[in-house]
Amino acid sequence: MDAAFLRTCLGLRTPAGVPPSPLPVAVRRAHYDMARALSLLGAMGPAGMDPTQLAMVVALALRDPEMELPKRDAEVIEPKEGIDAAALATGQKVVVQWQERAQAGHFLKRGPGGRLLILVNGDERWFRPEAARLPNQDEFPEVAENINQPVGV
C-alpha cells in the first residue's frame, strides 16, 4: 500500500498489467528514515504508514536536491462520451455508475456545466454526463421506464 500511495502522490502510476518502475532513491531514503523514526516511537501500525505519514515522506523526498522524477510520455486522455441530455425525456429511466455499481435512476433535468440531475434511490443527485447511460433491453425491469407515466395495475 505504501508504494502505491507514494506512486500516486508523485504521479508515477503505471497502467494495469505493467510492472511498476522502482521508486526514486530520494523517496526510498525518506521512506526508510520515516519508518525507522516511527518504529522507534511505536507510532507505525501493522499495515504500514497512514496517508498523512506517507504524504510527509513525499514532502521530504521532494526537498532533496537529488530528487528527479522519471520523465513520462504525455498521456493521451480520450474524452468519455456522455449521454445526450437533449435526447432524454424528463423522468426517463437511466443507469448511473454510483457507489461502485450500476444503479437505475430517472433523469430530471440538465444543470450547469452539462451535469445531470438524476433521481436515484429516492435522492436527487448531480452526475457528470459520462457517468450516465441508457439502460440495456432487460436491465432493471423492476424500474419504471418513465416516472411521469401512470402505472397500470
Domain-embedded: residue 75:
no
Domain-embedded: residue 52:
yes
Classify strands 101-110 and 93-98 as parallel, antiparallel or unpaired.
Answer: antiparallel
Q: Of the candidates 93, 91, 80, 89, which has an alpha carbon nearest to the alpha carbon of residue 136?
A: 93
Phi, psi for residue 5 in degrees, rounded to 5: -65, -45
pLDDT in tens, 20-63: 888 888 888 888 888 888 888 887 777 778 888 888 888 888 88
CA distances from 107 to 65, 124, 125, 143, 146 (A): 53, 9, 10, 13, 9
Q: Do residues 92 and 153 share a domain?
A: yes
pLDDT in tens, 90-110: 999 999 988 888 999 999 999
Range of the domain at 132: 82-153
- Tell me the three cell numbers of residue 146: 418513465
Q: Of the candidates 15, 39, 74, which has an alpha carbon nearest to the alpha carbon of residue 7?
A: 15
Domain-embedded: residue 126:
yes
Structural element, H or E, at residue 132: strand 132-133
Q: Do residues 88 and 58 share a domain?
A: no
Domain end marker among 11, 34, 63: 63
Question: What type of residue is 129?
Answer: P
Domain end marker among 63, 97, 116: 63
In whole angstroms, what is the distance from residue 4 CA to residue 8 CA?
6
Model pTM above 0.75: no
Q: Do residues 86 and 149 share a domain?
A: yes
78 confidence band (pLDDT: 50, 70, 90):
low
Q: Of the candidates 4, 15, 128, 5, which has an alpha carbon nearest to the alpha carbon of residue 77?
A: 15
Q: Do residues 87 and 139 share a domain?
A: yes
